[in-house]
Structure 1
Amino acid sequence: MIDVSIIIPTYNKKRHLRLSLYALEKQTFDHSRFEVIVIDDGSTDGTWRRLRKYKPPYPFRYIRNIKNTGRAASRNKGIQLARGRVLIFLDAEILVEEDFIQKHWSYHEKEDMAVVSGVFGRFHGLYSILHPSFNRWQFKHCYPIVRKMPLIRKRFRSSVGLSRYLKRRKKPLQLVGRRSIDNHRYTRAAFSKSYYLEHLVSRYGPELRGFHFPWISFLSGNVSVKKESFDTVGLFDESFKGYGFEDWELGYRYFLNGYKFIAGENIVSYHQEHPVNPNTRSREHKTNHLRFFEKHRDYGIAMLVLYEIGLKNYVEINQALDEYYRLRDDFPDKYMTYKASFHRFCERLAQRKAIDDHFSEYDVAFESDHSDLKRLGRYPQLVSVMELQDRKRLPM
């Protein structure tokens, strides 16, 4: 009987995927009780040659899309094929420890309506493979981490020397192999990647209580839910193309349906770093964020732009939204101009448009409301957010 299905979409990541699949061979969870489904979304790097004859000790299915259909469509195909009661979504470049499946499974044994985020646990970056197409920042960042490894220490004295070698070589340099996974030496090429995640868990607890955006923990690189939940919540929205937000949007629907979000603090995973095109990602990210906002019209979704552009952290945004809801409840028939201005501000954030003016016909009323609320001192973060309107152009 299959209890757990691991769904892995992949696109041109054959080297990383090979390591990720090998790590799953080391699982302590009974191999007959879980399956791995890889959906190859039109890879052109020869992924199919590596996987068509792959025979791991667990049930394995390899599905190849002739054309690239996108992350959402690939994951939906995996959901439809899955036989497990619990589905774990895993990215092709995520390498996990031996107790990974067992820990995800344990959470779902205790909770009927759980969304378990592995990325909100102990999440690390890993330079398992060095690529010639790494950008300058990646080379600068990786060198102090990997220089202690014998292959690097003996040959390269600086990140410049390493990058020049790889560019001349024109193919990746693999630092982590099966033996490194067997003896856990791959951790020498790892670094903490928890960012804001640990801070949120320490403030709001592993269930993110009091946090208006628990759905940001639905990161499809490492998250699990019960299969039956899709009957209520629905599948990934395939209208999201390119990078970003198809997972948060689904997480938001879980939130609307009353599911409990749990940060799997004891789940350890490693993201194998790979080349990225920040310009392409940025364009896709903005387009998909606007699609997300327009689908649900939740001003909290728009306010997350303030984190992305570095003006507010998640705690401050959460507090500002708390204060807006409190203002709305405290004064249902007052400060109407201020509330309308807040709505417009959020609309323009979602659209990534400059905050270049107020409602011109309401300027006097807005300033009066703003001064009044500032004197009250009960809504400091909301006041601070609304003062951003006076910055004629935000860094969108």
Structure 2
Amino acid sequence: MTASDTGPALRLSVVVPSYDAGPQVRRLLRCLALCQLDAGDSLEVIVVDDGSTDGTGELLADLELPYPLTYVFLPRTAASGRAAARNAGIGKATGDVVVLADADQIVAPGFVAAHARYHRLRGDLVVAGPRGDLGPGRIDDERLAREFSLEALPAVVGWDGRDRVLAAFSQNFNNLATSWHYAFSCNLSVRREHLLAVGGFDEGFLGWGLEDSELGYRLHRRGLAFAFHPGALAYQRKREVTPEMFGQWRRNLDHFVDKHGGVAEVAVQQVICRAFDPADRSLDWLDCMIRMEFAVRALAGRLPEPSAYELVEVDDATASATLARLPELAAERDLVVIDDTAGAVLAGPVQCVTTPRELLYFHRPSAAARQGILARHRLA
């Protein structure tokens, strides 16, 4: 039992938009049927069919599932899109927590429970999980219907990039000034009350990109904290940004910036064009993310970095005592927390701490990485 396992039972609603992805969403529903829930938790799934013509409804009708499934069909119009479809699903959801997933994803058995455990730590939290990018090759649907196994999937050829951002700064997602940008709706959860309070997704975003980041920005402005749970694992075929997708992303960025009055911390996302534009790509994606993070930190007065951090080292014997003192410590000084517990006991609580100070977190870094952390923050 860790700090992430305790707390009241939760009702979880997984919302899945789908367009001409019948076989893929059928696979996802079977994977969700294998998900383990903590005692007392319950699950429902809402599939919003965004005007498909591939017989998605018929493909799902004969499934026997251990959870309630709601199927919603929306006629296809010029205003159709993922934002509108997700809003329709959120409107049908009855759970305390809404978990967002894409139709073509494959989720590990711990996916739902990982989201739920972090939401038990704090009532105003946005929880993100990693997406593994699958290479070419066959997916064994029949095996996945019986059991989750990486052997049933093509090789994982990379991750969604947030792992690289966290490695560049720290594993405290909430310490990023740009955490809201990474609220990727392929693997995201928020309490339904907060989604409704901010009005859900902006349906003015059409095509590919940024409707989820803009929702993340409004949740950030509402005061929610952001946490990344590496155990909320999902997998998806690797996608390349095409010229058409980049054009949609660029138009959506203009809409995002205009909607928020050209505020600098939103407009700075334009640096990403240098990684996404198929005709340019003069910067690596991570280079763009690092520049964007430092720019937003500068706007918030968080640069230069503190000249002195205090080191907090935790193991299984000292975790409970440190947890009790963590909010007080984080309020008083800039911390580097190195967590040597087997179960990353402090990962969730650290990301749930609200503090005006810098709060960096690292779980079981290698000896070389630890030396680098200490040297970089002048703790060696």
Q: Does 1:73 align with 2:48?
A: no
- The one-letter amino acid paired with 1:290 is D
Residue 44 of structure 1 and its aligned partner are, at CA, apart by 1.2
How far apart are the structure 2 equivalents of 1:2 and 1:43?
32
Where 1:67 maps in the other structure, the secondary structure is coil
Match of 1:235 in 2: 200
Match of 1:178 in 2: 142
Indicate the SS of the match to 1:239.
coil
Quote the offset at 1:33 in angstroms: 1.2
The answer as to 2:82 corresponding to 1:107 is no
Give the corresponding residue for 2:132. Answer: 124
Relative to structure 1, the CA distance from residue 191 to residue 76 in structure 2 (aligned partners, 3 Å threshold; closer, same or farther) is same
**CA deviation after TM superposition for structure 1 residue 52, in Å:** 2.9
The sequence identity of aligned pairs, in percent, is 28
Partner of 1:89: 100
Q: Alignment partner for residue 302 of structure 1, among 245, 260, 267?
A: 267
Does 2:60 correspond to 1:51?
yes
Mapped to 2, the partners of 1:118 and 1:294 lie a distance apart of 29
* Partner residue of 1:278 out of 218, 242, 246: 242
Gaps of 5+ in 1: 128-141, 147-173, 330-396
3-state DSSP of counterpart to 1:193? strand
Asked whether the 8 Å contact 2:132–2:160 carries over to 1, the reply is no
Alignment counterpart, residue 34 of structure 1, candidates 37, 43, 58: 43
| In 1, Cα distance between equivalents of 2:302 and 2:238 | 44
TM-score (norm 1): 0.65
User: Which residue is equivalent to 2:27?
Assistant: 19
Letter in 2 for 1:105: A
Gaps of 5+ in 2: 1-8, 276-282, 305-380
Q: Is the 8 A contact 2:133 2:160 kept in 1?
A: no
- Name the residue aligned to 1:318: 293
Stretch moving more, 230-239 or 199-208: 199-208
Q: Give the deviation of 1:79 after TM superposition.
A: 0.9
CA RMSD of the aligned region, Å? 2.6
Q: Can you list the C-alpha shifts for 1:152-198, whole angstroms capped at 9, x where unaligned?
A: xxxxxxxxxxxxxxxxxxxxxx5321214626144651314325311
* Matches of 2:177 and 2:143, distance apart in 1: 43
Cα deviation for residue 273 of structure 1 reads 4.6
Please state whether the residue corresponding to 1:267 is helix, strand or coil. Answer: coil
Which amino acid in the other structure matches residue 248 of structure 1?
S
Matched ranges for 1:223-372 at <5 A: 223-273=188-238, 278-296=242-260, 297-310=262-275, 311=283, 312-323=287-298, 326=301
CA contact (8 A) 1:7 1:87 kept: yes
Query: In the aligned structure 2, how far is the partner of 1:201 from the partner of 1:301?
Result: 20
Q: For 2:168 and 2:194, how far apart are their aligned partners in 1?
A: 28
Distance 1:18 1:212 in 2: 37
Structure 1 distance, partners of 2:187, 2:148, is 23
Structure 2 Cα separation of the partners of residues 328 and 4 of structure 1: 39
User: Which amino acid counterpart does residue 60 of structure 1 have in structure 2?
Assistant: L
Mapped to 2, the partners of 1:106 and 1:325 lie a distance apart of 31
What amino acid does structure 1 have at the position aligned with 2:192?
Answer: K
Which of 62, 75, 82 is equivalent to 2:71?
62
| SS of residue in 2 equivalent to 1:304 | helix
> How many residues are matched?
281
Per the TM alignment, residue 277 of structure 1 is displaced from its structure 2 partner at its CA by 7.7
Shift of 1:301: 2.2
Question: Are the equivalent residues in 2 in contact too, given 1:124–1:190 (CA < 8 A)?
Answer: no
Give the AA of the match of 1:244. Answer: G
- Deviation, 1:300, is 2.5
Deviations 1:348-373 (A, max 9, x none): xxxxxxxxxxxxxxxxxxxxxxxxxx
- Quote the offset at 1:209 in angstroms: 4.4
Q: Does 1:193 align with 2:204?
A: no
- The AA in structure 2 aligned to 1:11 is Y
- Residues 277, 318 of structure 1: alpha-carbon distance in 2 compared, 3 angstrom cutoff: closer
After superposition, what is the alpha-carbon deviation per residue over 1:365-391, rounded to whole angstroms, capped at 9, x for unaligned? Answer: xxxxxxxxxxxxxxxxxxxxxxxxxxx
Contact 2:18 2:48 in 1 (8 A): yes
Mapped contact 2:265–2:299 kept (Cα < 8 A): no
Change in CA separation of 1:213 and 1:46 when aligned onto 2, cut-off 3 Å: same
User: SS in structure 2 opposite 1:28?
Assistant: coil
Contact 2:139-2:152 at 8 Å conserved across structures = no
Matched with 2:324 is: none
Against the structure 1 CA distance between its residues 116 and 281, is the aligned structure 2 distance closer, same or farther, given a 3 Å change threshold? Answer: same
In structure 2, the CA distance between the partners of 1:58 and 1:285, relative to structure 1 (3 Å rule), is same
Report if aligned partners of 1:22, 1:178 keep a CA contact under 8 Å in 2.
no
| Distance (Å, rounded) in 2 between the aligned partners of 1:327 and 1:57 | 48
Q: Is the 8 A contact 2:205 2:252 kept in 1?
A: yes
